[in-house]
Structure 1
């Protein structure tokens, strides 16, 4: 790998670093920045042309002296080392350990952006996954390979519900082959600590980005989590449940970076490629023919102002196979979980319930 190193960036603001006259730099390449104090910062190329290269810096551009900054282009995307040792570990958004334990040492490293699943190679989602939540198991059943989001609102117990799903979910008859990847974006320290203590003994692979961590890291975190899930599912033949919370924080970070780049805004200021960007993440879930493993996804989306027509839940609904909707009215009545049954739906429920999966009378009930 031939690396390029440059000095004297032309400008820096809002977590973005600009360089001119840097040829041969590819979009998505990883960047290493050494500031005036000799400290290392991580970055990624988000715009590349013959005239200008734009780098998003995960640790931000605060106190960065342009005259004393060295920028090294590594000519490689963000990659994550993968081995069975990732089970039970806690990582940050770029796959670095966050649990005071040694880093993962492995010859196997994969691009966090992954590869799309060939539509012809996809297998139809089937087989019931038991979450232990009666409103989901009985009325909006989750099946292996499905994408079933939770639509919530500010202050509703979606994190508590997500944690309960992580603790209780299992494949009937295949418990030993079932694992969970949990990714939290923009959460408070208290929530992150709650998740960590809750999952400590469950072997969950956990990725966290705190509210005061770099927002740009949130754009990489779900991709890193999906890379770990793909390894567990398609290399180790495990059945993987991926829980992502909260995709609204992800979309807001995307809007922030898009605005800084000068992209043309559309609905609510989000970039026009929000749909395709979300699809890049959601569509990495599923089943593949002739592979025993699978990836099932439960993303959490908090709806701004409880508006289900907001761009984030709206576009999520187009990509996924149903939704679990939480109700503020039910929550105010101290009902838990406050699942609003009429607007909730699992489009693939019929393929995972019945005589051979749950109970013969389940569809009628």
Structure 2
């Protein structure tokens, strides 16, 4: 039997505190009725004895401490789901906002997910082609992986996210039609949300995308459930309908700041930079929902995008994210100022699962060798640049000048590409070989002789016949 409670003990920010409650569960959904009849929704975020703290999604403005009525529903927040979610746009709580009506649900699923037995997980294999050379060639995204993008304010991570949604695909035949994208934006401005929506519609990919939008002027409390609604949708598509789902979450910094604000309202003791001590476990509860299961065909691959405050990669948000995920793609302000798009700085970027999803049978047999050699050559370019800053480029040796030429060409031709340019993996690897042709063959010590015999050719500048 449901009991309705009248009155509140305390109101703090987006939280209300009730005492004398019984049979209340953590994460339970609460219906709030205001004095004039308006209804709001909240969830239980803390229980201590007979005292419950409830987070109100729509905020607490207008609530009365004496006349507010609170009803505990007995169930957590659930997402109504069917395959109709593809091509639809939802708000941060999973309610349709595209004017196409409610979802005709096959089932409702708890947005907090169900624990997975690690033994049932399948090791990630095969790659997802994004059409972006710096990712596909050097930090390859593997199906079932979680690969974050570390960006900064003002860098083109939104454009990169849109390009990945438009171009990403499974490399093999059957999986192409079973590929879908779940896109969740948290704390974005209205113009950015319109950019996402318009870009997906104009490119024609909207029919394979389920989009969740939490705007900057939406309640902070809603921001906490947005990625959970998105991931629940992804799990449904992947494990109920055997689809390969790519989940893009942007911006995780907005999510963590909402977590900090709510923690502060609860009066919890802050940890690094004011974030709660459980930030790591909270992020893990999101990131670890990526993966594959042995008894299912589907997969969930995650690309969380976060903006590093002051471009500080040691900030708690990128720092904790790096511990949980399998690599990172780092965007560089210096490359952005040079006009390079996407401004991916390859040396601190890595994909820890890359080695298991590339090479013969996955991409191409020369892929691991080409990637290793490009990394090694570009790392040497940085040493040559440091030397040139001391003695001047004119005093460099002939081989060092070739490395400088390689470095410029690598940034302008390999890393940089058009915002609508979609390169397949063969084109990316062929471009890598072309740039390695700038260097003498004897410098390519990371590549087997038989591969050099097959692929190595002296470099030809674009537009040159010589």
Q: What TM-score, normalized to structure 2?
A: 0.77
Contact 1:4 1:74 (C-alpha < 8 Å) held by counterparts: no
Q: Give the corresponding residue for 1:12.
A: 11
- Partner secondary structure for residue 67 of structure 1: coil
Give me the whole-angstrom Cα distance separating, in 1, the residues matched to 2:90 and 2:368. Answer: 41
* Alignment size in residue pairs: 364
Q: Which has the higher contact order (CA 8 A, sep 6+)?
A: 1
Give me the whole-angstrom Cα distance separating, in 2, the residues matched to 1:169 and 1:4. Answer: 49
- Which deviates further from its counterpart, 318-327 or 84-93? 84-93
Give me the whole-angstrom Cα distance separating, in 2, the residues matched to 1:327 and 1:107. Answer: 44
Q: Give the corresponding residue for 2:181.
A: 180
Q: Give the corresponding residue for 1:154.
A: 153
Q: Give the corresponding residue for 1:267.
A: 272
Give me the whole-angstrom Cα distance separating, in 2, the residues matched to 1:103 and 1:4. Answer: 29
Report deviation, 1:11: 1.8
Q: Give the corresponding residue for 1:129.
A: 128
Report deviation, 1:107: 4.6
Is the counterpart of residue 144 in structure 1 residue 149 in structure 2? no
Deviations 1:68-127 (A, max 9, x none): 211111011000111111111111122111111211132511100001221111111110
- Partner secondary structure for residue 75 of structure 2: coil
Report deviation, 1:30: 0.3
Aligned match of 2:317 in 312, 327, 345? 312
Give me the whole-angstrom Cα distance separating, in 1, the residues matched to 2:225 and 2:247. Answer: 15
Give me the whole-angstrom Cα distance separating, in 2, the residues matched to 1:205 and 1:107. Answer: 16
Contact 1:81 1:107 (C-alpha < 8 Å) held by counterparts: yes
Deviations 1:200-226 (A, max 9, x none): 332200011000001111111111100
Contact 2:7 2:64 (C-alpha < 8 Å) held by counterparts: no
The residue correspondences of 1:76-155 to structure 2 (distance < 5 A) are: 76-155=75-154
Q: Give the corresponding residue for 1:195.
A: 196
Contact 1:116 1:283 (C-alpha < 8 Å) held by counterparts: no
* Structure 2 portions without partners, runs of 5+: 371-466
* Structure 1 portions without partners, runs of 5+: none
Aligned match of 1:236 in 224, 232, 241? 241
Deviations 1:135-190 (A, max 9, x none): 00011100100000000011111111011101100001221011000000000000
Q: Give the corresponding residue for 2:289.
A: 284
Give me the whole-angstrom Cα distance separating, in 2, the residues matched to 1:341 and 1:256. Answer: 34
Q: Give the corresponding residue for 1:22.
A: 21
Is the counterpart of residue 321 in structure 1 residue 322 in structure 2? no
Give me the whole-angstrom Cα distance separating, in 1, the residues matched to 2:221 and 2:56. Answer: 7
Report deviation, 1:51: 3.8
Q: What TM-score, normalized to structure 1?
A: 0.98
- Which deviates further from its counterpart, 267-276 or 96-105? 96-105
CA RMSD between the two structures: 1.0
